[in-house]
Amino acid sequence: MSKNADPAFWAKANAHLVRYGGAFSPVIAESANGNWFTDADGRRILDFTSGQMSAILGHSHPEIVAVARHSIGELDHLYSTILSRPVVDLAALIAEISPGQLDRVLLVSTGGESNEAALRMAKLVTGNHEIVGMSRGWHGVTGGASSATYASARKGYGPALPGALALPAPDTYRSRFIDDRGVYDWKGELEFGFELVDRQSTGALAACIVEPILSSGGVLEPPEGYIAALAEMCTARGMHLIFDEAQTGLGRTGTLFASERDGVVPQYLTLSKTLGAGLPLAAMLTTPEIEDIAAERGYLFYTTHASDPLPAAVGLKVIEVILRDRFTERAAVLGKRLKDGLQALQQRYDCIGDIRGRGLLLGLDLVKDRRSKTPDPELAQRVARACLEAGMMTSTVRGGYGIFRIAPPLTIEESEIDLGLEIFDKALAASVTAK
């Protein structure tokens, strides 16, 4: 019997764990190193999801391990009004590498928190409360963030916050604004979206929150020009713009920040998953002008782990390694290799409807047939299972789609990309015929 089936382990898990995200994966992880983790049978599994889209330097990167070991013995956690050098140094470094004048930084633990921090500040500074999100955006499960999250999990929890409004997410593959010739009128779609927002608004628009590539919603990459047009529409309404770069920040898409492609600097930018490279660390960035107003009005976002030194020390090392080892450039080059390989698979498998994304954040969209573009979530589940059996961890998006989010660590080797493609090939071959 596979040690992953350990009856005592699963009996304990089933008796004592809350099922926070559907079914658990059918393996027991014993250790993780580099771009792999090892299961209870001693089988190595290639991590094509970077943990939860976070471990951009792979697992147990020696320099991160050294910093974490040192910090836990030297300076771990403090009363939240006490500052330390790692915190101030990290804030300064983030301000230096980020676009525009996003020079004031709040350090917290999770993506949801960093978005709450931005949303609260936007409300306090604009004096308004309406928040516009994308119809397939994901910003976290805390109150404000989940109210602006439309990718999934809205049903059954009662009302979202008053003033939660949605724009249609830009979808270059399935948008209703794609005509018979395949031309996508994204401008028309955006104008239509804002027309609806304006009609629903009570005159209290505060902010619009958007991922530069909508990851959990299906790796939707807005067309070039879209984000700039969105920014203009926000400015015209006096709204602040929040870029949520939880998954796209720090190199994954081939630029340090994905929003660099769009040439737009928002009023707030949030970082999380990739900043701690697997440890809980997040940041909210804004301009001195905005932060000064917020501070004057008594801005409060006081949390237990705000400005904690240990994760800050880790974040400093993460950024140092990314810049020093040129991981951003590497993501662009290896992302091309991965995309080319997926496109080669698309030539051979009719079920691959679309491949999209940038750098090492790619989407693979499985369909029942290419004409109708009908999603095939069952096929995606079979392929995901077959990948895991063959030694590769993958991630599919929620919400009735058949979309894989492919996001390996930026430390991935060329040979490991090729291996991942081989595993996808075999898993697709086995799954298209199997039911």
Ligand X SMILES: Cc1ncc(COP(=O)(O)O)c(C=O)c1O
The residues assigned a catalytic role are 138, 211, 244, 247, 273, 405
Strand partners, 210: 243
Decide: is 150 part of the binding site for ligand X (CB under 6 A).
no
Alpha-carbon gap, residue 370 to 255, rounded angstroms: 31
Tokens of 32: 């993780």
- Sign of the C-alpha dihedral, residues 361, 225, 266, 150? negative
Which CB atom, from 283 or from 352, has the smaller least distance to ligand X? 283
Angle at 58 between CA 23 and CA 282, to 5 degrees: 75
Smallest distance, ligand X to C-beta of residue 360, A: 15
Decide: is 217 part of the binding site for ligand X (CB under 6 A).
no
Please answer whether residues 68 and 295 qualify as being in contact, where contact means their C-beta atoms are separated by less than 8 angstroms. no
Taking CB positions, which residue lies at the least distance from ligand X?
Answer: 111
Smallest distance, ligand X to C-beta of residue 233, A: 21
The span of 68-76, 81-89, 109-117, 319-327 binding ligand X (CB under 6 A) equals 109-117
Query: Interface residues for ligand X in 220-249 (CB under 6 A)?
Result: 244, 246-247
Decide: is 140 part of the binding site for ligand X (CB under 6 A).
yes
Which CB atom, from 253 or from 272, has the smaller least distance to ligand X? 272
Task: Supply the Cα-derived Rg of the chain in whole angstroms.
Answer: 22
Q: What residues have CB less than 8 Å from 179, skipping those under 6 apart?
A: 185
Query: Interface residues for ligand X in 384-413 (CB under 6 A)?
Result: none
Q: What residues have CB less than 8 Å from 147, skipping those under 6 apart?
A: 131, 133, 160, 161, 164
Please answer whether residues 145 and 164 qualify as being in contact, where contact means their C-beta atoms are separated by less than 8 angstroms. no
Decide: is 216 part of the binding site for ligand X (CB under 6 A).
yes
Decide: is 253 part of the binding site for ligand X (CB under 6 A).
no
Query: Interface residues for ligand X in 176-215 (CB under 6 A)?
Result: 211, 215
Smallest distance, ligand X to C-beta of residue 214, A: 8
Q: What is the DSSP string of 146-191?
A: HHT--SS--TTS----TTEEEEPPP-TTT-TTB-TTS-B-HHHHHH
Which CB atom, from 142 or from 201, has the smaller least distance to ligand X? 142
The span of 135-143, 307-315, 348-356, 401-409 binding ligand X (CB under 6 A) equals 135-143
Q: What mask, x for binding ligand X by CB under 6 A, covers residues 54 to 93?
A: ----------------------------------------
Q: What residues have CB less than 8 Å from 339, skipping those under 6 apart?
A: 355, 357, 362
Please answer whether residues 93 and 316 qualify as being in contact, where contact means their C-beta atoms are separated by less than 8 angstroms. yes
Choice from 36, 138, 150, 268 touching ligand X (CB under 6 A): 138
Binding site for ligand X (CB under 6 A): 110-112, 115, 138-140, 211, 215-216, 244, 246-247, 272
